Amino acid sequence: MTNAQHSKSHKSLIVILNPELKAYTKFKTDHTIILELHLKKIILNISSVYFPPHDNIDDSINEFLTYNFNRSFNIITGDFNCRSQTWGCNFEDHRGRKLMEFLTLNNLNICNIKEHGPTFISHCLNTGYPDLTIVSSALINKVKKCGILDRHSFSDHRYIYFKLDLEFQPSTEFYLKTGYGSGKFLRGLKPHIEPLTRQLNSVYC
């Protein structure tokens, strides 16, 4: 059975495909959902985030302030709507600077590889890099593969995948997505779960 959890606004969503994985809701706000994923010898906190492009960036970051990223292993994915050369943009804006300050203070690292190209391509061919994959410093050397799937994603945002090299990690298959409504997304995703899983399993690390 698919396990899906979303933020209060339904803008952020985490879908866990492996029914053997035990996940618990740890933190939820309007634009953030954090699940605690229990593996054999480690507890991972997996976050899906949506920062509205026209909201005050400080308000978006403040949703995180009651959660301590320094005392846990974290994977954070989402649509941050921030610009920085660090992840491929041509310039750094105020939102990007604020996000980088937050990441530095909380020992978090960007995994995006800008050479892979934009994570957002609109129907009129506008492009951008709003979607980020972020991990705790303790996990950065465990990220062995991070890329973008060349596959239709039911939105202007492209699928981002990554693999963690954890010796004590069981076989895991989980998918994280910032969505525009969990019901519609899950209905569209369901017939594509098996081919997506096969494609991810075929990625060479």
**Residue 21 and residue 121 in one domain:** yes
**Residue 160 and residue 104 in one domain:** yes
**Residue 152 and residue 198 in one domain:** no
**Sign of the CA dihedral running 197, 174, 192, 128:** negative
**Residue 33 and residue 133 in one domain:** yes
pLDDT at 1: 54
pLDDT at 82: 96
Tokens encoding 93: 């804006």
Question: 124, 99, 125, 122: which is closest to 112 by C-alpha?
Answer: 99
Per-residue confidence in pLDDT tens, the chain, 205 aa: 568 899 999 989 999 888 888 889 988 999 999 999 888 778 899 999 999 999 999 999 988 777 777 778 999 999 999 999 999 999 999 999 999 999 998 899 999 988 888 998 887 768 899 999 999 998 988 888 888 888 777 788 888 888 888 764 443 444 455 455 566 666 777 777 787 777 777 765 4
**Residue 58 and residue 21 in one domain:** yes
pLDDT at 203: 65
**Residue 157 and residue 176 in one domain:** no
Distant-in-sequence, close-in-space partners of 10: CB < 8 Å, separation ≥ 6? 179, 181, 182
**Residue 20 and residue 56 in one domain:** yes
pLDDT at 171: 39
Number of domains in the chain: 2
**Residue 139 and residue 198 in one domain:** no
**Residue 11 and residue 76 in one domain:** yes
Residue range(s) defining the domain that contains residue 179: 172-204
Q: Which one-letter amino acid corresponds to residue 94? A: H
Question: 27, 21, 31: which is closest to 175 by C-alpha?
Answer: 21
**Which pTM was predicted?**
0.77
**Residue 81 and residue 160 in one domain:** yes
**Residue 200 and residue 122 in one domain:** no
CA angle (169, 172, 173) in 5-degree steps: 155
What CATH number did the domain enclosing 135 receive?
Answer: 3.60.10.10
Cα(first)–Cα(last) distance of the chain, in Å?
28
For residues 195 and 55, give the distance between their C-alpha atoms in angstroms, rounded to a whole number: 37
**Residue 63 and residue 158 in one domain:** yes
